[in-house]
Structure 1
Amino acid sequence: MGKSQKKRMMRRHNPMRVPDSHLPQGLASAESASTKKEAILPIIQKMESPDGSERKWACVAVSNLIQNDPSTRRLLQGKNVVGALITRLSDSEEEVWIEAAGALRNLCIDGGYDICAEMYNKNILAPLRTFVPKVSTMLAQFLESPRNAPESAKRVVYEFADNVITILWCLSETSNKALNAINQINLIPFLMSFLSSRDKLPMSTVVSAAQSLYVLTDDNQAAIDEVRSNPAYSSCLLDIVRCNDRDPKGKSKDLSQDRFEALKVLCCGIVGNVSPLPPPSAASTLDGVNDLLLPVLLPVISSVSLDEIAQQVQELVTRQASEPPAIEKLSLKNTPKSDHKAQTELELEQLENELRTIQLALEVLTGACATLPDPASGITTDENEDVQDEDVEMEVDNDMTEGISLDEKLHPHKGTKRSSTALLPQLVRPLLTLVRPTFLSVSPPSRLSIHPPATSALSAIHVSAFECLNNLFLSLSTSPNPELGADVNTGRDVWSEIWAALSKVGLDIAPGQECKRDIWEVAVGVLWGIGNIWKGKLAPIDQQVQILMNVCDSSVDARVQAKCIGTLECLAQYPDSIEANQVISSYLLSILPTATTPATKGTEPLLQSVSALIDIYSDETLPYDINFRNGSFLDRLVESVDGVKKVVKAIDRRKERDLKLRGEEVRDNLVAFIEYRRAL
């Protein structure tokens, strides 16, 4: 079976919090959609005012105006608000650059990669570099002499540190260029200082530091080596992971349980990123999955109802609509505070944090379930290529150290079979629950959700849960377990639940509903994995077969097409479904080249189709083989040989070595299969 090669991609844990894909392109459309366009010009003007209070006001106003308002954010972008705010980071007045950092942080979080890329291109790292040592010095002073610093000063520094760290985290995910530049800032000791002093600092700032460290150690060898080189870092991370205290500081107002859980989840991810930890680390004697991950992550993904959270969000939004706005007018007399939030807003934020923690837990579990692909993989990975976040998809996501699972990395001599098989009963049930969309998981067609951050988080959870299932079933299918394969009822139940979830997702994708496409592209990989484990035991259903063919035809991603074809191949091998076998095989044959026409799809789906037909009809004693004989399939395969040979010959061995090997294998198998069937 040719499976998609795993590639590193920028993670999904900084999705666009308030998407704007439902808006037509161009500033004119944003202006027509914004209800605050009259406030834009005064903000931009006051950003350059000689009066420091006006400059501060302008920075704060940006934070307030963009909240859950992508059209206004886009308008501000069009007026170069990013460049203006970066300039204010070097302002002569402290309050101004503090508020500018807060506004830039909010733009990063709400606006996603495009805004982050703009910030990097406009050299935001220049002022940020100067802030890191300043914050480090002040932090050290506060920790050494806590009574000598007023609480108000500490609060300002901690909030400012949180903003700087969050910006650096978001920039780290923007591109390899940005990541390499951030590597030069020597951030690891800075970030670890927050984790090691976590009992003396606000948990929100500590979590931001952990989030940044999690991103920096993801397939980034410079950061990995630095963390591994310091035993104190490993000890700190493991202490957090193992901590069972509900409230270590006893200050539940600031240290909410959801943030502490987020910290533990992030530290699990960091440990996974940097494993194996060098001796004498305590982790060297642990089973990475069962001893470290599951005790922390399973409760996070198992003890939650997404439907209930969605309902709570709806109730809070309804309540919020009846409350007077916190800021009636943007005026210099009543300068709004960037951190002012009403109770309803705080409750919404807490629910969003809970959802993001679930998403993070799924990401870490996805890495734990990752396995190496087949040697004859259909996709090549160029280790030297510069991977951009918007250009890369992969079948097995959140790949850790070239696909090696956390359990393997902690115990290099162990295979994946034991860990993945042990994970199955514990993980599948909560994952199946998390792939089911709620009424709030997808925005209405061509407009915003009632609460975009919650919708963004929910859709990300569904994608991440499918990614975890994808890796889990791919792991199991590459190291077959006869006992599991014999449990046909489990296979059929899981298959049915996946399709039930997908039926709620639907295939109609309007602007602003791109998450549906993301779900389908991962879900077909899950279906392929399940199909391989229970090959020939899942009865094909006409509607499902048709949907798989439609997704294959509508997708422009060769890997998605190959996964659809692989799933159809598994369904075609159900012995008693002669009619479905004929429909699927005819579809696969339609992809093949003829003497006069090229293949209807690209190289990877073509190779998968040829391989599928060989597998389906490798046993002439099966009932559905009548389709091969009566349909003159042999003649059709013979007609495709020259075209297949041309396609394989055209693959560049230097650029796509794995694909070339795969193609040569399929080509040779096709010729041998034709000879075999002729001999019959």
Structure 2
Amino acid sequence: MGKSQKKKSMRRHNPMRVPDSHLPKGLASASETSSKAEAILPIIQKMEGTDAAERKWACVAVSNLIQNDPSTRRLLQGKNIVGALITRLTDSEEEVVIEAVGALRNLCIDGGYDICAEMYNKSVLVPLRTFVPKISATLSQYLDGPKNAPENAQKLVCEFADNVITILWCLSETSNKALTAINEMKLIPFLMSFLAAPEKIPLPPITAAAQCLYVLTDDNYPAIADVRSDSGYITCLMAVINPDENLPNGKSPEANPRAVTLRVLAAGILRNVSPIPPPSAASAIDIDKDICLPQLQPVLASISLADASASVLQLVAQQTSLPDVEKLSLKNTPKSDHKSPVEIELERLEGRLRTVQLALEILTGACATLPDPDPDIPPGQNDEDDEGDEDIAEEDADDETPDIDMAIDDASPDSNTPAQTLPALVAPLLALIQPTTLSFPPLAAPSPHPPTTSALSAIHLAALECLNNIFLPLVRGGPADAVGGRAVWDSVWAALGAVGTQTGLGQERRRAVWEVAAGVLWGVASVCRGTLEPKPEQVQALMALCDGAAADAQLRVKCIGALESLAQNPAFVDANATIAAYLLSMLPTGSAPSPAGTEPMLQAASSLIDIYSDEDAPWDANFRTGGFLAQLAGSIDGVKKAVRAIDRRKEGGRELRRRGEEVRDNLAAFVEYRRGLGL
């Protein structure tokens, strides 16, 4: 339960760049909130016209209009801009095709799942399939000798390839159907050809190819098998990891943040395809300890989110508006990636933030308790194994205290991670969970730069997930380590105080931060049991979070677990009574079922047993004077009924039933034990 695992149902690594959940649904509302609604019709008309220059102009205008403008993007979607752009991919004029691909790429990045799904459903892969061999042939000619390559080779190898690969990357994260279709394209040799020529190809298409490879090798056996099948691919990835050799264009990593991103991606790809089979020399390397940690640790410590936020605010204040569509000349139409110096700097800062987010994602996976077995299991051979794996995962999930052991040590039992590594990781993580002024703007005052806000909030969330997995070794083992646990506890609460509790459309990230933080709090409270002060405002916040999560049993269990540990501080007997009364309110009474739901109710019962298992504890007076024994005894029949009602056929049902039977038996035995004491 305590571990942050990959969520296969949501494959996308990068969330929507310009969130739009706060906007009302429907074309009418989009038209009302867009300042460029009048420009839509001319764009659609010109895109379908007979003049190639006008068609190109229309494609460029789409890219310019949607930048940081979700209302206009939605309005264009309502006018079937996706279908119109896909039609232009088979245009007779190559320049129109290139600009159409650029516009689709920008829609993918800014629009997220919905637009990507629409593109897939409208068969965007059909023309994209024809582009891949064309780019490959041009790339071969270009690498053999630029002078012998076609006149437009530089554009095809760089700009066009970058856009095509980015679309494929985004589509791969859209759905399993899209991923299956892209698997059939056998893209691994195509993508690796970019990483294999860092001296001759600019960084943008190389980084795009690495991004696509990273996504394709995430829990996707066909792509993993293709990478493993050629030891040259592993050698190429190892060369990218090495900061002293084969850096693209001979630049140092500090000279271009994209080079840092590329190395982080290479580390992630190697981790995705591990274990690496012989005869590759990398087969003997511990990917997590020897590659991921050395690559990711400096990235986490390389940026101050507060400074980045301040820089963005300064740049936004300097920013001039993009050219109005009406003022664009057909003769001097800017490229779809035309950007001012301020916009370039804003994108550079956003890129650095996204690299930190990516590093956190990889590190969280490296620190997860359970290894993901899917990459090693060929399709068609995993049905029975998956069932067993789910049982193991669910068994861990239902443990009474969160299992958040550091998996890096588990993966390498014969080689200990240096003691200084963990504090060095936790310090930047605690810094990365602290919000800035741009992280969670109120709905009444929208962000002046939504991409930065999206990146910052994603970093806070990812840092909490990573922290959830790696802090335990710092606080496990004794009172001295508990001091480190209290520091984590205080830092998380400081972050939550800055995040706030505003709810509603557009504030989903606030809620997500609280949900992940609850797991961290549960873990810290468990390992610092009896030493944390149960501050009334924190106890009430956990109760409120639990009460507000009626549809999220897992979140309620985390809150209950944290409250259980807070109740066991001998210096705060009153807090124990408050928490106990809250937990007792979750138990069934007479014929009334639990108001909290079965799984939270079971956790509450288990927590009460643990809290009052020692009749000599200072807080046991609350148990005796509050009549808790009678309340627990009166809940037994209701607990039995709830356990019998658990449907074992549902996902997780068998394990929940097993857990329920265990709690039911423990509760009956505990009641008998306390009765026998006669206190």
TM-score, reference length from structure 1: 0.90
Distance 2:493 2:35 in 1: 41
Aligned: 1:659 with 2:656: yes
Query: Structure 1 98/66 Cα, relative in aligned 2: closer, same or farther at 3 Å?
Result: same
1:90-121 alpha-carbon deviations (Å, 9 max, x no partner): 22222122111111110010011111111112
1: CA distance between counterparts of 2:313 and 2:188? 40
1:614 and 2:620 are equivalent in the alignment: no
Separation of aligned partners in 2, 1:95 and 1:107: 19
Matching of residues 235-254 of structure 1 within 5 Å: 235-244=235-244, 248-250=248-250
Residue 600 (structure 1) aligns with: 595
**Who is 2:380 aligned against?**
none
Q: Show the counterpart of 2:73.
A: 73
> Does the residue aligned with 1:236 lie in a helix, a strand or coil?
helix
Aligned to 1:183: 183
Aligned to 2:669: 672
After superposition, where does 1:54-73 map in structure 2 within 5 Å?
A: 54-73=54-73
Taking a change above 3 Å as real, the CA distance of residues 560 and 395 of structure 1, as seen in their structure-2 partners, is farther
Q: What is the aligned partner in structure 2 of residue 509 from structure 1? A: 503
Rounded Cα–Cα distance in structure 1 between residues aligned with 2:231 and 2:408: 19
Q: Which amino acid aligns with 1:221?
A: Y
Match of 1:289 in 2: 288
CA separation of 1:304 and 1:210: change in aligned 2, threshold 3 A: same
1:528–1:607 Cα change, 3 Å = same
Residue 139 of structure 2 aligns to which amino acid in structure 1?
Answer: L
In the other structure, the counterpart of 1:577 is 572
Residues 2, 468 of structure 2: 8 Å contact kept: no
Is the contact between residue 368 and residue 407 of structure 1 (CA under 8 Å) also seen in structure 2? Answer: no
Letter in 1 for 2:159: E
Deviations 1:455-499 (A, max 9, x none): 1111111001001011224x649xx9424x642221212111111
The answer to whether the 8 A contact 2:4-2:368 is kept is no
Native 8 Å contact 1:575 1:623 kept in 2: yes
Instruction: State the partner residue of 2:21.
Output: 21
Alignment partners' CA distance in 1, 2:319 and 2:151? 31
Secondary structure class of the residue paired with 1:575: coil
The AA in structure 2 aligned to 1:625 is D
- Alignment of structure 1 residues 123-134 onto 2, 5 Å: 123-134=123-134
Structure 1 residue aligned with 2:299: 300
2: CA distance between counterparts of 1:160 and 1:356?
22
Contact 1:536 1:574 in 2 (8 A): yes
Aligned counterpart, 1:391: none
Bigger shift: 286-295 or 460-469? 286-295
Tell me the SS of whatever aligns to 1:198.
coil
- Residue 256 (structure 1) shift: 4.9
- The 2-side partners of 1:636 and 1:482 are apart by 36
Q: Write out aligned runs for 1:327-406 (5 A).
A: 329-372=327-370, 405=407
Question: Which amino acid in structure 2 is aligned with residue 592 of structure 1?
Answer: L
Higher mean C-alpha displacement, 138-147 vs 109-118: 138-147
Q: CA RMSD in A?
A: 2.7
> Does the 8 Å contact 1:310/1:440 carry over to 2?
yes
The 5 A counterparts of 1:142-291 are 142-149=142-149, 152-244=152-244, 248-250=248-250, 256-291=255-290
Go from structure 1 to structure 2 and tell me whether the alpha carbon gap of 1:239 and 1:340 turns closer, same or farther (over 3 Å shift): same
CA contact (8 A) 2:289 2:408 kept: no
Q: Does 1:318 align with 2:313?
A: no
Structure 1 position 468 matched with structure 2 position 474: no
Moved over 6 A (4+): 1-6, 381-385
The partner residue of 1:634 within 609, 629, 637 is 629
Q: Structure 1 pair 421/604, CA: closer, same or farther in 2 (3 Å)? A: farther
The aligned amino acid for 1:21 is S
Unmatched 5+ stretches in structure 1 = 374-380, 386-393, 397-402
Aligned to 2:639, which of 624, 644, 653?
644
Letter in 2 for 1:349: E
Q: 1:584 to 1:452 in 2, by over 3 A?
A: same
Task: Note the C-alpha offset of 1:647.
Answer: 1.7
CA distance in 2, matches of 1:187, 1:539: 55
Q: Can you list the C-alpha shifts for 1:542-590, whole angstroms capped at 9, x where unaligned?
A: 0000000001111231111111111111111112211111111111111
After superposition, the C-alpha distances for 1:483-517 in whole angstroms (9 at most, x for unaligned) are 4x642221212111111111000011243221111
Post-superposition Cα deviations, 1:210-239, rounded to whole Å, max 9, x if no partner, equal 111111111111111221121111111112
Cα shift at 1:326 = 8.1
Given that 1:192 and 1:233 are in contact with CA atoms closer than 8 Å, whether structure 2 keeps it comes out as yes
Distance 1:620 1:590, change over 3 A: same
Which of 518, 522, 530 lines up with 1:536 in the alignment? 530
How far is the alpha carbon of 1:187 from its aligned partner? 1.1
Conserved? CA contact 2:591–2:638, under 8 Å = no
Q: Assess if the C-alpha contact under 8 Å between 1:6 and 1:395 holds in 2.
A: no
| Residue identity matched to 1:273 | N
TM-score (ref. length: structure 2): 0.90
- CA deviation after TM superposition for structure 1 residue 61, in Å: 0.9
Change (3 A) 1:36 1:142: same
Aligned to 1:390: none
With over 3 angstroms needed to count, the CA separation of the structure-2 counterparts of 1:553 and 1:293, relative to structure 1, is same
CA distance in 1, matches of 2:366, 2:222: 22
SS for the counterpart of 2:506 is coil
Separation in 2 of the partners of 1:493 and 1:320? 40
Change (3 A) 1:51 1:414: farther
- The 8 Å contact of residues 201 and 249 in structure 2, kept in 1 or not, is answered as no
Higher relative contact order (CA 8 A, sep 6+): 1
Residue 249 of structure 2 aligns to a residue whose secondary structure is coil
Measured in 2, the distance between the counterparts of 1:301 and 1:2 equals 22
Within-5 A mapping of 1:105-116: 105-116=105-116
Structure-2 residue corresponding to 1:117 = 117
Q: 1:520 maps to which residue? A: 514
Output the amino acid matched with 1:297.
Answer: L
User: Would the alpha carbon gap of residues 535 and 266 (structure 1) be closer, same or farther in structure 2, given more than 3 Å must change?
Assistant: same
**1:287: Cα distance to partner?**
3.6
Is the alpha carbon distance of 1:226 and 1:414 closer, same or farther for their aligned partners in structure 2, counting shifts above 3 Å? farther
Tell me, yes or no, if the aligned pair for 2:2 and 2:520 is still in contact at 8 Å: no
Please name the residue that 1:389 is paired with.
none
1:449 equivalent among 444, 447, 470: 447
For 2:128 and 2:563, the matched residues in 1 are separated by: 52
| Equivalent pair of 1:651/1:659 in contact (CA under 8 Å) | yes
Equivalence for 1:550: 544
Note closer, same or farther for the CA distance 1:603–1:130 as it changes in structure 2 (3 Å cut). Answer: farther
